[in-house]
Structure formats: structure tokens, C-alpha cells
Amino acid sequence: MTILDGKKVSNEILEDLKIKFASLDKKAGFAIIWVGNNEASGIYVKNKLKKCEKLGIEGKLYHLEENTKEEEVLELIDKLNNDDSVNGILIQSPLPRHINEVNCFNHVNYKKDVDGFSNISAGNLTLGNPSLISCTPKGIMYLFDYYHLDLEGKNVCLINRSNIVGKPLFNLLIKKNATVTMCHSKTSNLEDFTKKADIVISAVGKPKFITSEMIKDGAIVIDVGISRENGKVIGDVDSEVFEKASYITPVPGGVGPMTIAMIFSNLYEAITKYQNK
């Protein structure tokens, strides 16, 4: 069994990006919009700003009050869209309930959409056009490439249908000529699909959801789930699966670090592929 070490790979990516950002004509600008005081969001924002500092990026935090109106958030996005010193815009989710996240994501100029969440980014990906790709799916695909895991002809069981993970990942997998079955909360007899799969990708958010009985010997297992149990961060995959899988991502240290690395990969792409034309 081989561990797909997302922490190691992401560190290599970030070291390479540090050199690339330093070679740009001007310092890259990265804006983070955070509305409210969600504790977990605060930790994520702090970590992203630290990464900006290490990479030589001008990180700008726009921290708005919990009761900020949606119109005010959209006005701020408009301002950042038109600010040439800002190359990437990230909206920290979740947003307060009175604010429509989809409206906010779609208000971001697709050339600065480092999350890859906008309709334009998602549409381009679906149609096979160049686009900034949602970071978690992009990070998973990078791991497949890094470890030379050929997807062509492989049966993939993807357990997630969200706009952020499942749908973009589905499109990326079929581009690699994998045969993909997308499962979800309404799927009957889930084990019938996971047992036949060469690759199982779970983004459910339920601790130990994937057991060893659910996968075949030698399967590749990608754990995207994050839960907390007794103060520890754990994934969807039970520890017994490690003895049965050929390749597997740990939690923590697997997909999570890759997601962060892909945010900054997208920022560099936004500058060099979309904004400098």
C-alpha cells in the first residue's frame, strides 16, 4: 500500500510557485472576503494569508460583519473585479444564511475566480474549454498524475455530486478516459458500486463511512471527507481500508493540503493565462 502524500506534494508545488511568483513583473494580489466570525473560517483565512506571505503574494483580507447585506458584498466584489492590483478573489465560505453564496461566486470575474466556482468557470470545464478549476478536484487529479496512476479505462466510483467537488471531478475524470459512476445520498446498494470500482473517491463527511468490506483488494481510495471525532480530524475511510488498498490518501495530510496548493496554482494561472493576454 502506498500513501498518496498530499502534504509532501503540496509543499513541492508551493516551493515551485514561490519561484514563479517572484519572476512576475509585479507582486501578485490576492483578496479574501470573509463575512462573519465563523471560527473554522477564521483558521482557514489565517492559514491562507500565511501562505501568501511565504509565497511573496500581497494578501488582502476584507473582513465584513455578520449582518453585512448581500448587496454590500456584491459591491465589494465589483470593486475588486475592477482593481488591477487584485489578481485573485476568494470568498470564504460558509457565508451567513441571508447571503446567497451562488450569487456571490458568480459575481466574481471568471479571470480572477481562483476557487473555480462561478458558472463561467464550471461551464468552461464541462465544455472542455480552458478554465480555472475547482481546487479540490484539481488537487486530486494532480495527485493521480504525480504518482503516475493511469485512469484510462478504470472504473471509478465517485461518491459526491456537489458543484464544488463531485461535478467538476466527474468531468476531469472522464477527460482522462475513466468510466465514472457518480453516487450520492439517494444511491441504493452503494456497496454494489464501490466493490466493483478500481478507484473509490468519497466526499461524504461521515467518519469511517467507507469500510474494508466496501472495496475490492488493490483499489485506489481517495478520502475527501473531513470530520471531527474526539478532537481529531478524520476522514470518510475506516483505518482497516489501508490494509486492502493499493494507494490511499490519509486524513489529514492527503487531499486537504492539495486543495490549498491549487488555490495558489489557480492564482498564478489567472495572472499568466487570463489577465496578461
What's 149's domain CATH number?
3.40.50.720
- Spatial separation of the C-alpha atoms in residues 53 and 265, rounded to whole Å: 15
* Shared-domain flag, residues 215 and 175: yes
* Shared-domain flag, residues 75 and 181: no
* Shared-domain flag, residues 193 and 250: yes
Which among 69, 61, 134, 62 is positioned nearest to 97, based on CA atoms?
69
End-to-end CA distance of the chain: 45
* Shared-domain flag, residues 44 and 104: yes
176: in domain: yes
* Shared-domain flag, residues 200 and 241: yes
- Mark out the alpha helices in 69-214 (DSSP H runs): 70-81, 101-107, 119-127, 135-146, 166-175, 190-194
* Shared-domain flag, residues 92 and 148: no
Beta strands in 103-210 (DSSP E): 155-159, 179-183, 199-202
Tell me how many domains the chain contains: 2
* Shared-domain flag, residues 164 and 244: yes
8: in domain: no
* Catalytic annotation present for 92: yes
pTM of the model: 0.96
Averaged over 17-30, what is the pLDDT? 97
87: in domain: yes
* Catalytic annotation present for 115: yes
For residue 276, what pLDDT band results from cuts at 50, 70 and 90?
confident
177: in domain: yes
pLDDT, residue 277, reads: 58
* Shared-domain flag, residues 151 and 197: yes
Averaged over 245-259, what is the pLDDT? 97
* Shared-domain flag, residues 140 and 235: yes
Least confident of 163-167, 171-175, 226-230, 240-244: 226-230
Averaged over 131-140, what is the pLDDT? 97
Label residue 153 left, alpha or beta by phi (over 0 means left) and psi (-120 to 50 means alpha): left
Please identify which of the residues 5, 51, 92, 138 carries the catalytic annotation.
92
83: in domain: yes
Please identify which of the residues 115, 198, 223, 236 carries the catalytic annotation.
115
Q: What is the CATH number of the domain that holds 72?
A: 3.40.50.10860
Residue 112 pLDDT more than 70? yes
Which residue is associated with the grid cell 493511469? 150
Q: Residue 151: how many CB atoms within 10 A of its CB?
A: 21
190-231 pLDDT, tens per residue? Answer: 999 999 999 999 999 999 999 999 999 999 999 999 998 888
* High-pLDDT (> 70) share of the chain, %: 100
* Catalytic annotation present for 232: no
* Shared-domain flag, residues 65 and 154: no
18: in domain: no
36-67 pLDDT, tens per residue? Answer: 999 989 999 999 999 999 999 999 999 999 99
Three-state SS string across 126-145, please?
Answer: HHCCCCCCCHHHHHHHHHHH
Domain that holds residue 162: 135-256
- Spatial separation of the C-alpha atoms in residues 259 and 136, rounded to whole Å: 5
Please identify which of the residues 5, 48, 113, 223 carries the catalytic annotation.
48
222: in domain: yes
* Shared-domain flag, residues 79 and 172: no
- Spatial separation of the C-alpha atoms in residues 265 and 92, rounded to whole Å: 17
163: in domain: yes
* Shared-domain flag, residues 143 and 222: yes
Q: Are 82 and 53 in contact (CB under 8 A)?
A: no
